[in-house]
Amino acid sequence: MKGKVLKLLRQNDNTFLSGEKISNELNCSRTAVWKHIKALRNEGYDIIAVQNKGYQLTKSAYLLSEHDIYSRIKKNDLFENVVYHNSVTSTQTVAQQLANEGVGEGTVVVADEQTGGKGRLGRVWDSEKGAGVWMSLILKPQIDFRKAPQLTLLTAVAVTRAIESVSGLPLSIKWPNDLLVNGKKLCGILTEMQADPDRVQSVIIGIGLNVNHGGFPDDLSEIATSMNIEAGKPFNRAEVIAAILNEFSWLYRTYLSQGFSLIKPLWEAHAVSIGKKIVARSTAGTTEGYALGIDDEGVLLLQDNQGETHRIYSADIEF
């Protein structure tokens, strides 16, 4: 209910909304409306009340809250359930635990801070409080486990489209999961799967997006960037999250009904590593050559200097 009050106030940005109108719209008492306004103020929302006029949301600051996210999620989105934490070790771990306990598809775990954020290949993911979008999506797709990497590429497309629409920033995708602006990393995606030999049990997709960082420590400043640094202004993280969930929802539904073939051209339209000479490093070794493209499964095709084509399932790419 608190989220619905916030949604109404936001829809009427810069105008007053009377307590009577809110109570009629939401079918609740004026006292209940006042209680929710008070609770929203306690969360940091700047809501002014003027006699005979009503309430107005003056600024939502850059605070993140469960209700703010809820109030922005579109009606038909896949994600109906938001689990919000101020601070967790890793949203991946929380999401995996929920999935194991039987929580179904359509739940997203969001945190304002991660104290042990996980990156790919066992790396640490720096997750500063209040600065980024640190979230994990719980999925339970009925797909062959070999197809799970396609979901990483689908997520890259969803996040790219969402950020472009919210900020206008031009993003490029570096296979398989890095989103870059001006050659620096803005977002990373970590896909973790639990599967039986014959079916996927759950896929947890972690998204780490640098939003309002004003700068990075010396060791990262050459390779990492944020939406704030690139666009020169901060962004409301709940709006960014809602945009990602909305893009993800339709792409994922399209994928489940029609397969990867419709997602592939969207991914290719943003890919930077394709057609270039690259070095792919993985636990299996290092391969150098030309990135020919991805196949229908989302696997990277790399032609080495002897003309032999390698299928790369997982690696770090340099170009």
CB neighbour class for 12 (10 Å; exposed up to 12, middle 13-18, buried from 19): middle
Show the binding pattern over residues 181-200: x = contacts ligand BTN (CB under 6 A), - = does not: -------xxx----------
CB neighbour class for 102 (10 Å; exposed up to 12, middle 13-18, buried from 19): exposed
Cβ pair 5, 36 in contact under 8 A: yes
Q: Which of 19/176 has CB closer to ligand BTN?
A: 176
* 134 near ligand BTN (CB under 6 A): yes
Cβ pair 312, 283 in contact under 8 A: no
* 91 near ligand BTN (CB under 6 A): yes
Residue 107 DSSP label: E
Show the binding pattern over residues 138-177: x = contacts ligand BTN (CB under 6 A), - = does not: ---------------------------------------x
User: In the bound complex, what is the minimum distance in angstroms from residue 239's beta carbon to ligand BTN?
Assistant: 18
Buried b / exposed e over 148-168, threshold 16 CB at 10 Å, is bbbbbbbbbbbbbbbbeebbe
Residue 39: enclosing H or E segment and its boundaries? helix 30-42
* 130 near ligand BTN (CB under 6 A): no
Q: Which of 134/252 has CB closer to ligand BTN?
A: 134
Q: Which of 8/153 has CB closer to ligand BTN?
A: 153
User: In the bound complex, what is the minimum distance in angstroms from residue 192's beta carbon to ligand BTN?
Assistant: 9
* 72 near ligand BTN (CB under 6 A): no
User: In the bound complex, what is the minimum distance in angstroms from residue 168's beta carbon to ligand BTN?
Assistant: 23
Instruction: State the first-to-last Cα distance of the chain, in angstroms, to the nearest integer.
Output: 50
Sign of CA dihedral 42, 47, 48, 52: negative
Residue least distant from ligand BTN (Cβ): 188
- By CB under 6 A, name the one of 38, 53, 123, 199 that touches ligand BTN: 123
Look at strands 309-312 and 300-304 and give their pairing. antiparallel
Count of positions on this chain that bind ligand BTN (CB under 6 A): 21
- Name the site residues for ligand BTN (rule: CB under 6 A): 90-92, 114, 117-120, 123, 125, 127, 134-136, 177, 188-190, 206-208
